[in-house]
């Protein structure tokens, strides 16, 4: 819970700073989602991918659009991989560059400001807590994702998200077991499909996503 609290404080402070100096459109959004996560084959032969896949993903973040088509996003994500006494829990902090991919296809105009599409590339750190140890492993993480949006109002959109993450220098598998007796690291991968809500924050009539 300490990681969650720290991430929440960072998000609130970032929102406060970003609320100043807005342009003709609102620049800040707060986003929260829930979904399905699946790992790569880094677990013992006694298990299958389905043992560690499931609706065990949650994330919350804040996004700041520097320009209409480009912005930055800070988010916290939690993924749980668990089968009986085996497993690992990931708490990740990510910073991503966000691009309005929909602008390449003029989606706002074509759909009368109803459908959008964002893309992102990010880096961060994952705090992994394997069930087999008392400590925490720190894993570098890189991610790429696409986020279709459906506008519900000038203040709220619903989104779907597909993301692929690379877990750099992972020493424990998704079953929580050490991958190599000589402590050699391996590349882990996770795929997430989630849905959530975007809340637009600001005193302007429109957000950059739909301006």
Alpha-carbon distances of 156 from 50, 109, 207, rounded to whole Å: 34, 19, 10
CB burial string 43-53: b at 16+ within 10 A, e below: beeebeeebbb
Q: What is the mean pLDDT of residues 115-144?
A: 97
pLDDT of 34 reads 98
Taking residues 49-57, report their average pLDDT: 97
- 206 pLDDT more than 60: yes
Mean of the per-residue pLDDT values of the chain:
92
**Phi/psi of residue 145, nearest 5 degrees:** -155, 160
Q: Is the pLDDT of residue 51 over 60?
A: yes
Please give the full DSSP string across 47-102, using - where no structure is assigned: --GGGS-EEEEEEEEEEEESSSSEEEEEEEEEEEEEETTEEEEEEEEEEEEEE-GG
| Largest CA-CA distance found in the chain, in angstroms, rounded | 58
Instruction: Give the predicted TM-score (pTM) of the model.
Output: 0.85
| pLDDT on residue 23 | 82
Domain ranges of the chain: 2-210
Mean pLDDT of 35-58: 96
Q: List beta partners, residue 82.
A: 87
Centre a 10 Å sphere on the Cβ of residue 65 and count the other Cβ atoms it contains. 25
**192 with 57: CB under 8 angstroms?**
yes
Of 15-29, 36-50, 135-149, 187-201, the least confident:
15-29
Residue 157, pLDDT above cutoff 70: yes
Mean pLDDT score, 26-33: 97
Cross-strand partners of 96: 73, 122
For the domain covering 2-210, report its CATH number. 2.40.160.20
**Residue 201 near residue 209 (C-beta atoms within 8 A):** no
CA distance 29 to 155: 9
Say what the pLDDT of residue 6 is.
53
């Amino acid at each position: 819970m300490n990681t969650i609290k720290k991430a929440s404080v960072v998000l609130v402070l970032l929102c406060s700073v970003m609320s100043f100096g807005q342009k003709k459109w609102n620049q800040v959004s707060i986003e929260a989602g829930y979904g399905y996560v699946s790992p790569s084959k880094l677990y013992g032969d006694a298990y299958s991918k389905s043992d560690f896949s499931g609706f065990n993903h949650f994330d919350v973040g804040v996004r700041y659009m520097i320009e209409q088509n480009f912005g930055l996003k800070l988010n916290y994500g939690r993924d749980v991989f668990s089968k009986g006494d085996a497993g690992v829990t990931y708490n990740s902090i990510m910073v991503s560059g966000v691009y309005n991919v929909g602008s390449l296809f003029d989606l706002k105009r074509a759909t009368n400001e109803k459908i959008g599409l964002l893309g992102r590339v990010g880096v961060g750190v994952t705090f992994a807590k394997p069930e087999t140890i008392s400590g925490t492993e720190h894993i570098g993480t890189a991610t790429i994702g696409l986020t279709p949006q459906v506008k519900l109002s000038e203040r709220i959109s619903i989104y779907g998200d597909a993301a692929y993450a690379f877990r750099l220098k992972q020493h424990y598998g998704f079953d929580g077991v050490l991958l190599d007796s000589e402590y050699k690291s391996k590349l882990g991968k996770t795929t997430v499909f989630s849905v959530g809500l975007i809340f637009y924050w600001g005193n302007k009539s429109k957000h950059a996503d739909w301006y």
